[in-house]
Structure 1
Amino acid sequence: MNPSQLLDLLKAATGLTTDYQIHKKLGFSQTGVSNWRTDRSYPKNDVLIKFAEILDMNAGVLMLYSLARREKNEKAKAELNLLLDAIANAKFDDSFIAKDEKEAFELEKISSAPAKYSLENHTLNMMW
């Protein structure tokens, strides 16, 4: 994501229509906004954190874009871009939960469900 794309996202999220309004209303320097619009520089991390708050997104993702853009080593840049692509295409469901956490969640669901059978008078033998 280029800095100019970030500015466009900010405009959409805030209802602002010009870069000048972004500069004035959000308190960023006019030079900074101009440099971002022309993709001459990428916002610093403290600015990216503000962007993330406005856009309601994870600041770390914006920082990864910044890191990838500034990276000089082509192999490192390619690896960062692969990571960003994976994040962009990730499914955020329970597939990223650790197996132990899934099992604990399933046990919790079972224990809170109405019981079909009473185990009071039965002994369970478990093999370890």
Structure 2
Amino acid sequence: MNTIEYLKAVKAATGITSDYALAARLGVTRSAVSRLQQGGVTFSDDVALTVAEILKLHPLSVIAQANAERAKTPEQRERWSGVMEKFSESFRNLLLGCGPRPA
């Protein structure tokens, strides 16, 4: 998911229909929600934590995605994407009870 998809998912999960209510729920301004929806910016780590709580996701997956989106170089983006992939694989293995356990 990307920032815009997370915002839509939060609205759907909470029944929120207005950007004003979404801003209040995320603890940001209405203009911040507008910028997030336009794709020019992404979540702060704190907002990513709130999104993860609302959607019942592991916070590190949302934080890693936000950092990948705001990366300034392809190398940085690749590193954060790698973190997401490693985390997702470890978490999936842990839930399924197979493979190495994360440290």
TM-score, normalized by the shorter chain, greater than 0.5: yes
Q: How big is the alpha-carbon RMSD for the aligned residues of Structure 1 and Structure 2?
A: 2.3
Separation of aligned partners in 1, 2:72 and 2:11: 30
Please name the residue that 2:97 is paired with: 94
Give the TM-score, by structure 2 length.
0.77
Separation of aligned partners in 2, 1:73 and 1:4: 21
Structure holding more helix per residue: 2
Please name the residue that 2:36 is paired with: 36
The answer to whether the Cα contact below 8 Å between 1:4 and 1:39 also exists between their aligned partners in 2 is: yes
Letter in 1 for 2:56: D
Please name the residue that 2:49 is paired with: 49
The answer to whether the Cα contact below 8 Å between 1:2 and 1:39 also exists between their aligned partners in 2 is: no
Separation of aligned partners in 2, 1:68 and 1:77: 5
The answer to whether the Cα contact below 8 Å between 1:68 and 1:80 also exists between their aligned partners in 2 is: yes
Letter in 1 for 2:63: M
Separation of aligned partners in 1, 2:36 and 2:76: 23
Separation of aligned partners in 1, 2:74 and 2:80: 10
Separation of aligned partners in 2, 1:14 and 1:39: 22
Identity of aligned residues (%): 24
Q: How does 1:1-128 map to 2 (within 5 A)?
A: 1-24=1-24, 26=25, 27-85=27-85, 87=88, 90-91=92-93, 92-98=95-101
Question: SS of the residue aligned with 2:98?
Answer: helix
Separation of aligned partners in 2, 1:38 and 1:4: 8
Aligned residues: 97
The verdict on how the C-alpha distance between 1:23 and 1:80 changes in structure 2, with shifts beyond 3 A counting, is closer
Letter in 1 for 2:37: R
Question: SS of the residue aligned with 1:72?
Answer: coil
Deviation at 1:29, TM superposition (A): 0.7
The answer to whether the Cα contact below 8 Å between 2:41 and 2:70 also exists between their aligned partners in 1 is: no
Greater Rg over alpha carbons, structure: 1
Deviation at 1:12, TM superposition (A): 1.1
Give the TM-score, by structure 1 length.
0.64
